[in-house]
Amino acid sequence: MKEMLNVALPKGRLGEKVYKLFQTAGYDCPDILDPNTRKLIFENPDKGIRFFWVKPSDVSIYVERGAADLGVAGKDILMEFKPNVFELSDLKLGKCRLAVAAKKGFRDRHDYTLRVATKFPNVTTDYYSQKSRNVDIIKLNGSIELAPILGLSDVILDIVETGTTLLENNLEPIETVAQVSARLIANISSYQFKNKEINEIIEKINLLTEAK
């Protein structure tokens, strides 16, 4: 009997693409993409793999604490939470960027405290402290684009993928903070104790992603 590897996948659009990558690498799991199921855990004992669907921003918590051996998290989440995990591989999926955006025509005068609305307060602190800029961070949980429109903030620091949300709300990106993509992460002690199984997965997945 193979040692089971527990893998936390981010629920949603990205998670589906990530699962398909595992599937192509040979780690398939029956029923996992069945739209009619509300189950959260799926396993294929023959392949030694167990997947579970986790809220994307929680994946690194499961992996850091060892509830999952492996997980897939966006670089944005890793930059925000700085979990104590190994970052093993760039899956080159879910590509987007973290950017600062503002209302069209916004000019920053640099002589006042900039109000920044964001879901990423730590990334925002790091970014502006590098620039020695005083900021007032307004932590929101979604629909960040509303903040500058309603005068809640001067700018936002958020994910930009296609740019459609900014465009349709008369905002424009003014600075790129970081490029983002999905990363395969591992629990530090699992990487030691399940090293053979984990390296097997990484090799197969890297073969598929290196071609991209």
Q: Which residues bind ligand PRP (CB under 6 A)?
A: 142-145, 158-165
Q: Of 106 and 193, which has the nearer Cβ to ligand PRP? A: 106
Q: Shortest Cβ distance from residue 82 to ligand PRP (Å)?
A: 20
Spatial CA neighbour of 98 closest among 77, 82, 113? 77
Q: Of 8 and 157, which has the nearer Cβ to ligand PRP? A: 157
Q: Shortest Cβ distance from residue 151 to ligand PRP (Å)?
A: 19
Q: Shortest Cβ distance from residue 27 to ligand PRP (Å)?
A: 27
Residue closest to ligand PRP when measured from CB atoms: 142
Task: Count the neighbouring beta carbons within 10 Å of the beta carbon of residue 26.
Answer: 12
Q: Of 146 and 208, which has the nearer Cβ to ligand PRP? A: 146
What single letter denotes the amino acid at residue 115? R
Contact 197, 1 (CB under 8 A): no
Q: Of 148 and 186, which has the nearer Cβ to ligand PRP? A: 148
Q: Shortest Cβ distance from residue 19 to ligand PRP (Å)?
A: 19
Q: Which residues contact 123 (CB under 8 A, 6 or more apart)?
A: 76, 79, 80, 98, 157, 177, 178
Q: Of 36 and 162, which has the nearer Cβ to ligand PRP? A: 162
Spatial CA neighbour of 135 closest among 127, 146, 145, 143? 127
- Cα–Cα–Cα angle for 121, 78, 134, rounded to 5 degrees: 25
Structure tokens at 132: 């020695």
Q: Shortest Cβ distance from residue 163 to ligand PRP (Å)?
A: 5
Residue bearing tokens 């290196």: 210
